Structure 1
Amino acid sequence: MLTRFMMRILGQQPMNEENRRHRPDDLQLFVKTFCPFCVLVQNRMAALDVYIPVKNILHDPAHRAELVAGGGQQMVPCLRIESADGEVEWMYESRDIARYLLNRFGDA
């Protein structure tokens, strides 16, 4: 059985992620296996009790293609944010993503 830390390093979500308090349907996180910046973002998600679907671009070429087509580059972590009007923002810097998550879910 893999620990939460090991699963996070491998870019996988533990089975109980569905029980998180926050489950926004407007966010997706693109990651790579063994990316320390991705782990930083996933640690922030866990600390804030937020579940965001994770797409590992090394495990699925379709995820990589989606990231490049939408965001214009293959850099991770990348948070895909879809607004209510359908506009999509691609946020690339791990610290920016962590700050966004804290601002959005920190007081909820």
Structure 2
Amino acid sequence: MKFIRIILGKIILLLNFVFSPRGVKRTPEAQQLADKKAQSMQLYQFEACPFCVKVRREMKRQSVNIELKDAKNDAVARDELLTGGGKVKVPCLKITQNGEERWMYESSDIVSYLQKEFA
């Protein structure tokens, strides 16, 4: 079973690389505002998780650089996810606004949020 997951994960990553979406073009000022807004976000993810790939593709479409945290291979990131969000489930978008943290778990919710914030 682990072998199948490894193979499927590599296929997902290859297809994501081959069919990578294009990012939106913004003016330098608008991109600077988007980058500033993205600094308050972190995405906890596994590299080959199809739902995480879905979120990363939307990040690319919206041309935003959100910090990625590998909750599978990084014990510190995994602990942050468990402590802050309450469970080790990916993808999870951590949004920090006005000193308050919000943890968003569902990929569809994250994609909708990114579209609303950065479109």
TM-score by length of 1: 0.77
Paired position in structure 2 for 1:38: 52
Gaps of 5+ in 1: 9-18
More helix by share: 2
* Deviations, residues 46-83 of structure 1 (Å, cap 9, x unaligned): 00101100001112100000000000000000000001
CA-based RMSD? 2.3
CA shift digits 1:12-42 (9 cap, x unpaired): xxxxxxx998322110000012100000000
Alpha-carbon spacing, 1:62–1:43, altered in 2? closer, same or farther (3 Å): same
Q: Which has the larger radius of gyration?
A: 2
Aligned length: 92
Q: 2:34 aligns to what SS in structure 1? A: coil
CA distance in 2 between partners of 1:20 and 1:30 (Å): 23
Question: Normalized against structure 2, the TM-score is what?
Answer: 0.70
Q: Which residue of 2 aligns with 1:11?
A: none
Aligned residues of 1:76 and 1:92 also touching (Cα < 8 A) = yes
Query: Helix, strand or coil for the counterpart of 1:82?
Result: strand
Alignment equivalent of 1:65, drawn from 79, 85, 89: 79
Does the 8 Å CA contact 2:93/2:104 hold for their aligned counterparts?
yes
Aligned mate of 2:39, from 10, 16, 25:
25
Question: 4+ runs of 1 displaced by more than 6 Å?
Answer: none
Residue identity (%): 41
Matched, 1:54 2:68: yes
- Give 5+ residue unaligned stretches, structure 2: 1-13, 21-30
Contact 1:20 1:51 in 2 (8 A): no
